[in-house]
Homo-oligomer: A and B are copies of this chain.
Amino acid sequence: MAKQKIINGVNVEQLLSTIDTIRDKPEIAKFKFRATNKWVNGGHNRTASKDFYGAGQEDTSRPNPLVFEEDEPPVLLGENHGANPVEYALTALAGCLTTSLIYHAAARGIKIDEVESKLEGDLDLHGFLGLSDSVRNGYENIHVTFKVKADAPKEHLEELIELAKKRSPVFDIVTNSVPVSVKLEQ
């Protein structure tokens, strides 16, 4: 039996075979990710994710829900029971850029030793508080800085950063517009 080809912890044979399978059966590329949220008190609420639909079936690989406490810090009237929602947005962006970089490097046979990133987003409360029509509610901008250690010249690493931006689902979600419907169920 041939040894499995693992690069950066990614099973490259399985990745390439997934790509081939999707070429033959485009419908297996359709995923539905989910979350449920329950308000606790004040700025404190709790989100859970467990099952999702993907590769043609309901995924049940997680025995328990993944649970996230969300709260505001005291300066925003909360009690620090968890990160606040805009910090979770940075978490989503950081993780997605990193995974996109790692998976696409693996597919190209580029071995990565270390990846670290720092993110900072500017947010002006005038928007959330409805104090100014000219200030948006969300981040005015986000700056991401990567450090990558790999046995590759700097221009290849720059290409990987560009590829991560080009392919990352959360980078697309943040930098472009996603239609969101919000309805009240009684």
**A86 and B42 in contact, given A95-B70, A146-B185, A178-B142 (Cβ under 8 angstroms):** no
Contact A180 B33, beta carbon cutoff 8 Å:
no
The answer for the CA separation of A80 and B179 in the assembled complex, in Å, is 28
Contact A43 B184, beta carbon cutoff 8 Å:
no
Contact B39 A121, beta carbon cutoff 8 Å:
no
Residue A110 is within 8 A (CB to CB) of chain B in the complex: no
Task: Identify which of B146, B166, B174, B184 contacts A184 (C-beta below 8 A).
Answer: B146
Find chain B residues with CB under 8 A from A33 CB: 84, 86-87, 90, 120-121, 123
**A99 and B124 in contact, given A85-B170, A180-B171, A185-B146 (Cβ under 8 angstroms):** no
- Tallying the copies of this chain within the complex gives 2
Contact A173 B41, beta carbon cutoff 8 Å:
no
The secondary structure that dominates the A interface is mixed
What are 28 residue pairs bridging A and B, where the CB atoms are less than 8 Å apart in the complex?
Answer: A9-B42, A9-B43, A9-B44, A10-B77, A15-B77, A18-B77, A22-B129, A26-B126, A33-B120, A34-B120, A35-B90, A36-B118, A38-B115, A42-B102, A45-B99, A54-B73, A55-B75, A66-B82, A68-B83, A77-B103, A85-B169, A86-B173, A89-B92, A89-B170, A100-B128, A138-B171, A140-B179, A154-B186
**Further contacts, 16 of them, CB under 8 A, given A68-B68, A88-B92, A123-B169:** A14-B77, A30-B122, A30-B124, A31-B122, A31-B124, A32-B121, A32-B123, A34-B120, A35-B87, A37-B116, A37-B119, A61-B73, A72-B99, A85-B93, A85-B169, A154-B186
